[in-house]
Amino acid sequence: MTTKKPRFGYSYVMVAVVFCIMLVAWGTFLSFAVFFEPLLTEFGWTRAMTSGAYSLSFLVMGPLSIGVGRITDRFGPRLVMTGCGFFLGLGLLLMSQISAIWQLYLFYGVIIGIGMSATFVPACSTVARWFIKRRGMMTGIVLAGTGVGIIIMPSIARWLISIYGWRVSYSIVGIIALVSIILAAQFLKRDPAQIGQLAYGGDEVREDSSNLGARGFSLEEATHTKQFWLLCIISVCLWLSVGIITAHIVIHATGLGISAATATSILALIGATSIAGRVIMAGSADRIGNKSALIISFIIMSASFFWLMVCKEAWMFYLFGFTFGFAYGALSPLISPAVAELFGLGSHGTILGVTFCVGMIGEAVGPVSAGRIFDVTGSYQWAFLICATLSVTGIILSALLRPTNRDSLIQNI
């Protein structure tokens, strides 16, 4: 099929659709922080027990993201994101019926984890295929849907809980996720060639041997490089810290005497500033490079965690939410373009899936470990110190990233 530069690029439709899916999926998923206290109140579970289900969802999400990446590479995002809507909506609906801890782990940890495994990797990998120029910027815009979701969905959930209780609220958000994500997924296409178009900027890219998109690394080849493992550890440094904050920041703030509404607004502020971080820093990465953007973002994140350790009042938490949200938002879209830059597009979804899987193991460990630390010490201080240490580690590892050479690698394997 002959490809052409269209008058109206479907690439922007893809960005809009994936943005909406990320908004609903991650907005409802991260509303767990709002449901945390009602669950503790009704069932009397410990924080470690309750956050364990949240952690399990990341353990499920991680390994499945590798298979999801392979399916996306082969068939495109429509199939996997339709599955996302089905399993996420089903899990949320079932959450309204729980009466025992094993049900919490099955419904939230396993079923919702399956649904969420089909979000981040397909979203980033699809954008990478539809954009050559502005890849960082568009990845940031798509993932900004997560930030918008954090602003909207937890606030809606809090409002619903105050009127209908947490069980009915879970039913409502479940129906929203099920219907909206499945419908939106039907507009997705695997790549521009499927509809006879070029990727944005594709007409300006030479089809020569230097184009990694034409002959990128396989997963096996990527695993023989130091850069692959550096990206995996960088992913852990990011997502373990994010898991701790998204699961515990609301209940940590309320434990210091801050109202539930204010504590929820801190989470919303994190979502709002993450939008700015994704758009500004991901767009800057197109000019200054992913490596420099990673280093700057980890510096900001490490400063936010050292500040969190002394937060006592609402304004201090708002300042933390602003800085952490910007840094977290900046970091999350940078790994996908880094994978494309270092390893090409041939197995982009699979390679990104592995780095995401490793990160999700970290995000799974984070919430339950922080809950356990609180149960033992009565404080989150050690958990926040771990987050600060990981952020500093992220600065160092990002500085070690170097370009890869596929031809010399093959000769050495």
- Chain segment 333-354, per-residue pLDDT in tens: 888 888 888 888 778 888 888 8
Residue pLDDT, tens place only, 342-401:
888 778 888 888 888 888 888 878 888 898 899 899 999 999 999 999 999 999 999 998
Whole-number pLDDT of residue 215: 52
The three-class DSSP label of residue 198 is: coil
| pLDDT (0 to 100) of residue 208 | 41
Identify the pLDDT of residue 206.
45
Given a cut of 80, is residue 30 above it in pLDDT? yes
In 165-216, which residue ranges form alpha helices assigned H by DSSP?
166-185
**Residue 199 reports pLDDT greater than 70:** no
* CATH architecture observed for domain 11-191+215-404: Up-down Bundle (1.20)
Mean pLDDT of all residues in 269-281: 85
Average of per-residue pLDDT values in the chain: 84
Find the range with the poorest average confidence among 5-19, 21-35, 387-401: 5-19
Could you tell me which residues come within 8 angstroms of residue 357 by beta carbon, excluding any fewer than 6 positions away? 62, 63, 65, 66
Q: What is the pLDDT of residue 388?
A: 95
pLDDT at 224: 87
Please report the DSSP string for 80-106 in residue order.
HHHHHHHHHHHHHHHHTT--SHHHHII
CA distance 394 to 388: 10
Domain ranges of the chain: 11-191+215-404
User: What's the average model confidence in pLDDT over 70-77?
Assistant: 84
Angle between helices 260-288 and 32-43 (to 10 degrees): 150
pLDDT score recorded for residue 198: 64
- State pTM to two decimals: 0.73
Residue 299 CB contacts under 8 Å (≥ 6 apart), including other chains: 395
- pLDDT tens figures, 204-239: 544 443 444 445 788 888 888 999 999 999 999 999
The pLDDT value recorded for residue 200 is 62
Percent of the chain with pLDDT over 70: 90
What pLDDT is stored for residue 14 in this prediction?
A: 87
For residues 303-327, give the mean pLDDT: 94
